[in-house]
Chains A and B, each alone.
Chain A
Amino acid sequence: MKIHKYDTVIVGAGGAGMRAAIEATKLSRTAVLTKLYPTRSHTGAAQGGMAAALANVEDDNWEWHTFDTVKGGDYLVDQDAAEILAKEAIDAVLDLEKMGLPFNRTPDGTIDQRRFGGHSRNHGEAPVRRSCYAADRTGHMILQTLYQNCVKEGVEFFNEFYVLDQLLVEEDGVKKSAGVVAYELATGEIHVFQAKSVIYASGGTGKFFKVTSNAHTLTGDGQAACYRRGLPLEDMEFFQFHPTGIWRMGILLTEGARGEGGILRNKDGERFMEKYAPVMKDLASRDVVSRSIYTEIREGRGCGPAGDHVYLDLTHLPPEQLDAKLPDITEFARTYLGIEPYTDPIPIQPTAHYAMGGIPTNVEGEVLADNTTVVPGLYAAGEVACVSVHGANRLGTNSLLDINVFGKRSGIAAAKYAHANDYVALPENPAQQVIDLVERLRDSTGNERVADLRLELQETMDACVMVFRTEQTIKTAVEKIAELRERYKNVSVQDKGKRFNTDLLEAIELGNLLDLAEVMAVSALARKESRGGHYREDYPNRDDVNFMRHTMAYREVGDDGKDSVRLDYKPVVVTRYQPMERKY
């Protein structure tokens, strides 16, 4: 075991982690621990764009953006946070441009902007061009630009280090962060990083679904590490299903495709979104479009032999426009489906895409231990966190924005905290929990296999807690997850070595997914209403009287050693906008 000491430790080198690192490195001795090489992070997969009311191509302002964000999130958004997001968006985009990001340009040389779902002029009048983009590679450009600037600033990275535990120590009755414990992939060695402040920026948790746009590595490690140490997770029942994933594979085809004029059609060639969202049509918010697609499929208007998908039609767009604006996604269709998008429609289905919930933080990125108390020295930003700027449904282009705005804020806040405060003494045997976990899995002779359990989990989640949910389906999921968690105790790995043991790490990642799936299902069961990404067929309406509040899920361990999820609730911050019915 090795012990390291840093002022600030950042967990994750995606957009949020590297944006934080660029700030924190200037102010404090900073280490970035990442399980992937920074440029492998899934921020690089983001396509469509990053929202900011620059008003470069048409009238726009941050207040309209705030409203759209609140409405898009079905009024579960904390409005003070949404206002910060929309206001600071403008500088966030300009910062990136100054760091070198090659945005697409207007004829006058300013940053070009395009339409995206749910973003509107003057509180819903018509779609507005608010998304700043670089073809359909905006996330790639953000990730590259941030990495380039980390190289420029000399940020210190520990690549292929998996953070597996969060150290919390009680001092004067307050739980404080003392550091993290990490596993080094190359050697199997365990490292303790003592740090004055820790920022989680470890991304999402989409891999508990089967059809998903998320990378294999998005397994909610950060959420799980904090949750196991008794910290709450907020709004985990809210997961976004993006309307246009490649049929069966889940690979994303950006909403930018519809922003450029692409149309969804059923088997009769009908532009069905006109029925469901007369104004915004194909650019209504994602939860609305995903439900509409499944309604078409259920009512027998799906395409293909099994009628299990619909089409994204780009054939009416000029090939030059597709080449210039959507080169990557058209290539995905060619590579993975053998389809030519110039002439043929692309089969799509909703794909599990984005975790709205996560580790609760305030607007400085400070992690909350309950509804109001912060954990000194602990921060979170990006998809792992829940500020909450996305509420019950995130608008497209608001996450690349989120990672930049709150990545920067948490980087500054954490470094300042590290300046003003001393180290918290490490607990005795700080690495014990991780050592036990690793040894148990490596030495186990149990007869359960990681791949089997993971597949069963994914199939359960797809069937039971996807776009449509009912009491019955969620209960089925809760029971199945409980069974899988039990069987997980008998999981064993074949690779018993220390060197690059990805077999072992997949087993650990599965443990995280199982814990988080349980939290999601239990939270969803208790929310007896429909709001944003959480749609209950047995409670089809939003219920502001009983449920306009955030879910806070805690892990509780009983006297018998068994753990369970305890739910509590937190009020939503409302400033300007009273809840209204959501129409697009």
Chain B
Amino acid sequence: MATPTLSKTDAMEAAAAASPFITVTFRIRRFNPEISDEAQWQDFQIEIDPKERVLDGLHKIKWDLDGTLTFRRSCAHGICGSDAMRINGKNRLACKTLIKDINPEKPITIEAIKGLTVMKDLVVDMEPFFQAYRDVMPFLVTTGNEPTRERLQSAEDRERFDDTTKCILCAACTSSCPVFWNDGQYFGPAAIVNAHRFIFDSRDEAGEQRLEILNDKDGVWRCRTTFNCTDACPRGIEVTKAIQEVKRALITRRF
């Protein structure tokens, strides 16, 4: 077989080897009730390679400038869902957002996600979010005798709910939803995504129950299809579509 063309890779390697640092301003919404009841913006200037992540910038600040800056993070590559935050007014994962992709010429604003109580700096209280998740019965329910081997599922049936299995419970969607901002009782997109994951799983037998839960006044009907959630999802899940499918299932009772 032919040697692959190396053009794009070559260019990337050359650019990486050059490693041009630039100066960037991070404008961060600080809040620490141990010190003050007021939140305030604070600017930090850092030297950073634009191909690095916003999370790398936050680490530079925490490690070199101000150890009190507080945020959650773990995996650093978009898989654990720890670091959803509002970056330049949009919900994103700090570890999946490269500096160069968000116009480093201007100060980059970073604040906690909205709609959940801020505990300190970029850390919010995740409990209400996880409670909504737990409320939709996010687990497989089956009846009858267990088969000795695996349950069979066709590749098509498996594909039916593939999109919603990707959720990492980062809350970027729920905390970008204007309905949720106004009324924290709304289940929010993430809980509906996780209900969808089971409602459309051919092996599951509790679809009706989950639909009844979501038929509640705080359920799917609150969604006003603003698509903020779909835009925010770092896993590329078609969140609004999933919510629409649940609504349709509620009307037709077919899923």
- A residues neighboring B (CB under 8 Å): 36-37, 39-42, 44-45, 93-94, 97-100, 102-111, 134, 137, 140-141, 144, 148-149, 151-152, 186, 215-217, 247-249, 251, 265, 268-269, 303-306, 311, 313, 315-316, 328, 332, 335-340, 343-347, 449-451, 493-495, 497-503
Contacts and interface: CB of A to CB of B under 8 A. Distances in A.
Interface stretch (B8-16, B40-48, B224-232, B245-253): B8-16
A345 B71 CA distance: 35
Contacts of A337: 12
28 contacts: A37-B126, A40-B74, A40-B81, A41-B80, A99-B140, A100-B198, A102-B158, A102-B161, A140-B79, A149-B139, A151-B134, A216-B73, A247-B16, A304-B16, A313-B4, A328-B79, A338-B12, A339-B12, A343-B4, A345-B6, A451-B63, A494-B66, A494-B68, A495-B67, A495-B70, A497-B68, A499-B120, A502-B70
Contacts of A311: 4, 9
A500 B123 contact: yes
A493 B66 CA distance: 10
Contacts of B146: 98
A269 B4 contact: yes
Per CB-CB distance, the 4 closest pairs between chain A and chain B, nearest first, are: A100-B140, A494-B67, A269-B3, A451-B63
Nearest to A252: B77
Contacts of A217: 74
Given A40-B80, A42-B75, A99-B140, A347 B13 contact: yes
B80 A45 contact: yes
B29 interface: no
A102 B16 contact: no
B214 interface: no
B98 A39 contact: no
Contacts of B185: none
Contacts of B78: 332, 335
Contacts of A93: 150
A335 B72 CA distance: 21
A143 B6 CA distance: 37
B89 interface: no
Interface in B200-255: 201, 203-204
Contacts of A152: 139
A303 B10 CA distance: 9
Interface string B31-46: 0111100000000000
Contact of A497 (B32, B72, B130): B32
Nearest to B125: A186
B82 A40 contact: yes
Interface residues of B, number: 70
Contacts of A265: 3-4
Contacts of B134: 151
Interface of B: 1, 3-9, 12-14, 16-17, 32-35, 51, 62-64, 66-68, 70-82, 96, 98, 119-121, 123, 126, 130, 134, 138-140, 142, 146, 149-155, 158, 161-162, 165-169, 198, 201, 203-204
Contact of A39 (B62, B80, B140, B165): B80
A45 B4 contact: no
Contact of B34 (A40, A306, A498): A498
A466 B76 CA distance: 22
Contacts of A316: 1
A340 B75 contact: no
Contacts of A151: 134, 138-139
B1 A105 contact: no
Contacts of B152: 108-110
Contacts of A495: 67-68, 70
Contacts of A144: 165, 167
Nearest to A37: B126
Contact of A215 (B80, B119, B166, B168): B80
A339 B8 contact: yes
A572 B4 CA distance: 46
A249 B16 CA distance: 12
Contact of A346 (B9, B154, B165, B201): B9
B74 A42 contact: yes
Contacts of B68: 494-495, 497, 503
**Residue from A93, A305, A335, A343 having most chain B Cβ neighbours under 10 A:** A335
Nearest to B11: A338
Contacts of B121: 500
A451 B165 contact: no
Contact of B155 (A44, A94, A105): A105
Given A332-B77, A500-B123, 4 more contacts: A105-B154, A215-B80, A305-B14, A332-B78
Contacts of B149: 94, 110
B96 A216 contact: no
Contact of B8 (A45, A313, A343, A499): A343
Contacts of A502: 62, 70-71
Contact of B166 (A99, A137, A345): A137
Nearest to A149: B139
Contacts of B6: 344-345
Nearest to B203: A100
B158 A39 contact: no
A316 B123 CA distance: 44
A328 B165 CA distance: 13
A144 B96 CA distance: 21
A304 B5 contact: no
Contacts of B3: 265, 268-269
Contacts of A268: 3
Contacts of A141: 165
Contacts of A251: 76-77
**Residue from B7, B142, B155, B203 having most chain A Cβ neighbours under 10 A:** B155
Contacts of B204: 100
A442 to B, nearest CB: 12
B151 A107 contact: no
Nearest to B75: A215
Contacts of B1: 316
A304 B33 CA distance: 50
B140 A345 contact: no
A423 B140 CA distance: 36
